[in-house]
Chains A and B, each alone.
Chain A
Amino acid sequence: MSQDQTRDAADVPAMQRLYDRIWLLALAAFVFFLVAYVGWGLLDLTSLPAR
């Protein structure tokens, strides 16, 4: 279904090189989720004035 051979880096399109760096993509997505959903949400919740 797919190309699975290794080639010289210069021959490989930029998008493919980016998508081949799967662990970097995973880390970036993880950080993005921690900031956009978890961090921002917890900041909102902990900023509520105490009654």
Chain B
Amino acid sequence: MSAIASLFRNDYDSDGFRTCSVTGLDVHRSVENHVKLFGLTAVIALAFGGIFAFTVAMTRWEFIGFLDPGSYYTHLSLHAWNLLIFWMVFMEIAILYVGGPMVLGRTLPLRRLATAGWVIMALGAVGVNASILLTEAPNEAPLLTAYVPLPVSPWFYGTAIVFLLGTTIAALPFFATIWLETRGTRRTLPLVAFGAFITGIIAVEAILGGIAAFAYAFAWRIDLIASVDPGIYRQLYWIIGHGSQQINLLAMITVWYFLTHVVGGAVVVSEKISRTAFVFYLFFINLGAAHHLLVDPGVSAGWRIWNTSYAFYGAAFASMIHAFAIPAGIEAGRRRRGQGGGLFGWLTSAPWGNPVFAATVFSIILFGFLGGITGVVMGQMQVNMTWHNTFAAVGHFHATVVLGTTLAFMGLVFFVIKTMFRRDFVSETLAAAVPYAYAGAMSIVTLMMMYAGILYGVPRRTAEVVRNIPGSEFSFAAAIPIFMIFGLFAVVAIASGALFILVSVGSLLFGDRLPGGDDGGLLPEGGLHADGGQPIHAVELRGTFTLCLVFLAVFIAIYVLNWYLVTQLWAIGA
């Protein structure tokens, strides 16, 4: 216990503040301890969900065929809830506390509420896991969708609601901080706090939708109401089903801005442009939930087209802005420091040995190329047909929430270990290897998922992927080589994830304590600079411009390819 208690100790002044040796921010004990509490819980959820990543992947890889179909869905549900929800949402509450009171140099208000929120969230998370593990016929494991009238345990709906209520309570101290900061003034929030606020509002929309959907189904399962309209349930469900991933996206981008500045020396090229992109997200990103209902009956074509095309392109445009603004910020910042010769000298000279920087930049690149482009393709009504309910959809969201969000959050955990827990890594080499191994292996896994889905039509959700699929006369045997590559790299990716846990937990327990004032080697060359100095328009950004042209070329190629594949769909069965 004393080892755990020591994790929450730092040297604070009589008011409970200390100055962070890396960010220069005045951090209060109340903020720091709650960030640690939520962050540690998130890592526990990551470790638990990662166990089921192994069993699920080894089942999908039929060469191993680890689980029978009956157990498979239970494991898949545990994998999804712990990694897509609990790992991310606990981290996101920590990010709200960083983006709010920590960046603003305030104490955490409503501390008892913050702790109560953690307790309720933890109870909800344990309850959801227990309800899935204890599922018995005729109930089914819920995965994330739990579509009614599929019978799912009422304990699942009840505990999921408890978790969502706990999250709402835990977020209140963040909103109180922002309210106190902006009350009665026209104060401009720092960009990171602005991004965190937008993340919080997106989360409120998603959570209210989730409570509505799960409460509706819960009332039916405990016989308060006789039936549930499946169409209404699905429409409400996807507000949280997709919205929870939009919280991840917003939190991830806020982390990108924060970490590229602190460890990469990036500047904000244009506050106006970056804030505009966040505002576009605020209005449009949650409408993307409609892309899950593109082939559902009930909702009109107008509703589908408006929400997934005209409106959602506002969010896609915002992503394009961030995709330019963040690399441009790195290029401008590094060139102003004299660290950017030639077209890409600013990038090649960057601190690639720093796992926080490497994880953040890999997250930006891989989210953009693999997750972002495929997201726009999937959200488009016609080309959605080549992806819908195939393994390619699974590839898409692994590209967004694993290669994007999880990688960024891994970088943030490493950052917190050094700056808040004040511990050195047990091994700098192993820590530096984590983002390379994880990003490399997961990229291959994700691409194989997409290939299997798009090129061979391999379905999602089934335990048996290429053989014995009930009700199907199609042969998927041609996809077997794809799954051999998928399986091998899944093992490497899961091992890399385990290495991340080992390095993180090992550093907390056995890492040397960093002396006061030591930056732990996190800061870019020349230390952290405030924005200012040479005007941005006087700095060459041709490297970023070139990268953006490459990105657009890939985007166009993938878009055109998917339209071509749509034309080929009609040949099936002809």
- Output the least CB separation between B294 and chain A (Å): 13
Chain B hits for A9, CB < 8 A: 186
Pair B182/A23 contact, Cβ less than 8 Å = yes
**Is residue B187 within 8 Å, beta carbon to beta carbon, of the partner chain?**
yes
Chain B hits for A16, CB < 8 A: 188, 272
Pair A6/B311 contact, Cβ less than 8 Å = no
Closest chain A residue to B208, Cβ basis: A30
Closest chain B residue to A19, Cβ basis: B275
- Known A37-B289, A38-B236, A45-B235; 18 more pairs at CB < 8 Å: A1-B261, A1-B267, A2-B190, A2-B268, A3-B188, A4-B187, A4-B188, A19-B188, A19-B194, A19-B276, A20-B187, A29-B283, A30-B201, A33-B283, A37-B286, A38-B235, A41-B235, A45-B229
Pair B268/A45 contact, Cβ less than 8 Å = no
Pair B303/A4 contact, Cβ less than 8 Å = no
Name 8 A/B residue pairs within 8 A (Cβ), A-sorted.
Answer: A1-B267, A1-B268, A2-B190, A3-B271, A23-B182, A33-B287, A36-B287, A38-B209
Closest chain B residue to A26, Cβ basis: B201
B306 is contacted by which of A4, A22, A36 (Cβ under 8 Å)? A36
Q: How far apart are the CA atoms of A26 and B188 in the complex, in Å? A: 15
Pair A41/B299 contact, Cβ less than 8 Å = yes
Pair A45/B299 contact, Cβ less than 8 Å = yes
Write the B157-189 contact mask toward A (1 if CB under 8 angstroms, else 0): 000000000000000000000100010011111
Q: How far apart are the CA atoms of A32 and B283 in the complex, in Å? A: 7
Judged by DSSP, the binding face of A is helix
Closest chain A residue to B229, Cβ basis: A45
A19 is contacted by which of B235, B279, B300 (Cβ under 8 Å)? B279
Contacts A25-B282, A26-B282; A40 near B187 (Cβ below 8 A) = no
Pair B232/A42 contact, Cβ less than 8 Å = yes
Pair B283/A17 contact, Cβ less than 8 Å = no
- Output the least CB separation between B410 and chain A (Å): 22
Q: Range of interface residues on chain A?
A: 20 to 34
Chain A hits for B306, CB < 8 A: 36, 40
Contacts A2-B531, A33-B286, A37-B239; A48 near B187 (Cβ below 8 A) = no
B298 is contacted by which of A29, A38, A45 (Cβ under 8 Å)? A45
Chain A hits for B268, CB < 8 A: 1-2
A-binding residues in B (CB < 8 A): 178, 182, 185-192, 194, 197, 201, 204-205, 209, 229, 231-232, 235-236, 239, 257, 261, 267-268, 271-272, 275-276, 279, 282-283, 286-287, 289-290, 298-300, 303, 306-307, 311, 530-531
Closest chain B residue to A28, Cβ basis: B283
Pair A1/B185 contact, Cβ less than 8 Å = no
Q: How far apart are the CA atoms of A25 and B530 in the complex, in Å? A: 28
B-binding residues in A (CB < 8 A): 1-7, 9, 12-13, 15-17, 19-20, 22-23, 25-26, 28-30, 32-33, 36-38, 40-42, 44-46, 48
Q: How far apart are the CA atoms of A41 and B235 in the complex, in Å? A: 7
Closest chain A residue to B298, Cβ basis: A45
Chain B hits for A45, CB < 8 A: 229, 231-232, 235, 298-299
Pair B299/A44 contact, Cβ less than 8 Å = yes
A36 is contacted by which of B178, B261, B311 (Cβ under 8 Å)? B311
Q: How far apart are the CA atoms of A36 and B257 in the complex, in Å? A: 30
- Output the least CB separation between A50 and chain B (Å): 11
Chain B hits for A41, CB < 8 A: 235, 290, 299, 303
Pair A22/B190 contact, Cβ less than 8 Å = no
Q: Which 10 A/B pairs are nearest by Cβ-Cβ distance?
A: A2-B190, A26-B201, A29-B282, A44-B300, A45-B231, A44-B299, A41-B235, A2-B191, A45-B298, A29-B283
Pair B188/A37 contact, Cβ less than 8 Å = no
Closest chain B residue to A48, Cβ basis: B298
Pair A22/B178 contact, Cβ less than 8 Å = yes
Contacts A2-B268, A33-B286; A12 near B186 (Cβ below 8 A) = yes
Q: How far apart are the CA atoms of A38 and B290 in the complex, in Å? A: 10
Pair B194/A22 contact, Cβ less than 8 Å = yes
Chain A hits for B300, CB < 8 A: 44
Q: How far apart are the CA atoms of A41 and B239 in the complex, in Å? A: 12
Contacts A1-B191, A1-B268, A48-B298; A6 near B235 (Cβ below 8 A) = no
- Output the least CB separation between A36 and chain B (Å): 6
- Output the least CB separation between B236 and chain A (Å): 8
Pair A33/B279 contact, Cβ less than 8 Å = no
Closest chain B residue to A7, Cβ basis: B186
Chain A hits for B191, CB < 8 A: 1-2
Chain A hits for B283, CB < 8 A: 28-29, 32-33
- Output the least CB separation between A8 and chain B (Å): 9
B182 is contacted by which of A5, A22, A44 (Cβ under 8 Å)? A22
Chain A hits for B236, CB < 8 A: 38
Contacts A37-B286, A38-B239; A2 near B271 (Cβ below 8 A) = yes
Chain A hits for B279, CB < 8 A: 19, 25
